[in-house]
Amino acid sequence: MRRTCRLVVSFALVAVVCGPASAQTADSGPSDRAPSVGHIAGDIPRDLWNFLSWDTALVLGIGGGAALIAHPWDDDLAGELETNVSLNNAMAPGHTYGGFGVQVLIGVGFYTGGRLGGKGRLAQTGADIMRAQILSQAYVQAIKFSVQRERPDGSDHYSFPSGHSASAFATAAVLQRHYGWKAGVPATVVAAYVATARVHDNKHYLSDVVFGAAMGIAAQRTVTLHSRRYDMAMIPAAGAGSASVTMTVRTR
């Protein structure tokens, strides 16, 4: 019973971090136009910059708080899940599904299907998944190399945060954004399963996967909140002994 209760708590903590993903602004709805490959590639550098925002600070603040709450259970939960052999077969697919390569392929599949089928919304969803994956992993890996937290199994020092959790929650949050909770709830449950599997496999602590979930959600919000929301124009002007630049930002 204690194991079951702590599993429920772990899912609840991850879900707390996922909550802010539904609080999108009204003027940033999903586009029905299929973006080109060039457009997707061009958005990635802007995503890396836009990630550094107050919105990201809010999401990661919530995630960090949840990770701190989870921290006291890190060792106990990791030990209990690892020694529960009845979960071995059930948790095995989590490592594969949560991998960055698999998640990117999911995005590629959505994008390709949308382009070939003339479904702009589906293609846009796939594009957002791919961008969210690249963005989340760029910052996750940077944090891993900076923090150097040892994994529970002692295999290396790249435990915090969980890249698998970030990838799975990024995809879940994109699906929720484009298709609502009918797609978001199942995808979030799968993402929580991936997070639990990583703890069970002794690759991460509970706090690692909770903060990883926040990273994935923050990446999704960056991609969908900032994407194509503004037009910017810069107009230079010169006069006698002076020069100026006027910048105009217009909401689309």
Residue 92: per-residue pLDDT: 77
Residue 11: per-residue pLDDT: 52
Per-residue pLDDT of the chain (252 residues; tens, 9 = 90+): 455 445 544 554 555 444 544 444 434 445 567 899 999 999 999 999 999 999 999 999 999 999 999 888 887 766 665 556 556 677 778 888 899 999 999 999 999 999 999 999 999 999 999 999 999 999 999 999 999 999 998 899 999 999 999 999 999 999 999 999 899 999 999 999 999 889 888 899 999 999 999 999 999 999 988 754 444 444 555 555 555 545 444 444
Residue 238: per-residue pLDDT: 57
| Closest-CA residue to 50 (of 182, 192, 232) | 232
Q: Give the angle subtended at the CA of 39 by the CAs of 59 and 28, to the nearest 5°.
A: 40
The count of residues in the chain is 252
Residue 75: per-residue pLDDT: 79
- Cα(60)–Cα(21) distance, rounded to whole angstroms? 12
Tell if the pTM clears 0.85, that is, is over it: no
For tokens 């991609």, what's the residue?
A: 223
Q: Determine the angle formed by the axes of helices 2-18 and 181-200, rounding to 10 degrees.
A: 130
Residue 162: per-residue pLDDT: 97
- Cα(212)–Cα(205) distance, rounded to whole angstroms? 11
166 neighbors 212 (Cβ within 8 angstroms): yes
Omega prior to 161 cis, within 30 of 0: yes
Supply the DSSP string of 81-144, one letter for each residue.
HHH-GGGHHHHHHHHHHTSHHHHHHHHHHHHHHHHHHT-HHHHHHHHHHHHHHHHHHHHHHHHH
Q: Which positions ≥6 away from 37 have C-beta within 8 Å?
A: none
Enter the DSSP assignment of 202. Answer: T
Q: Determine the angle formed by the axes of helices 2-18 and 206-226, rounding to 10 degrees.
A: 20
Residue 87: per-residue pLDDT: 62
Residue 235: per-residue pLDDT: 55
| Closest-CA residue to 161 (of 193, 99, 208) | 208
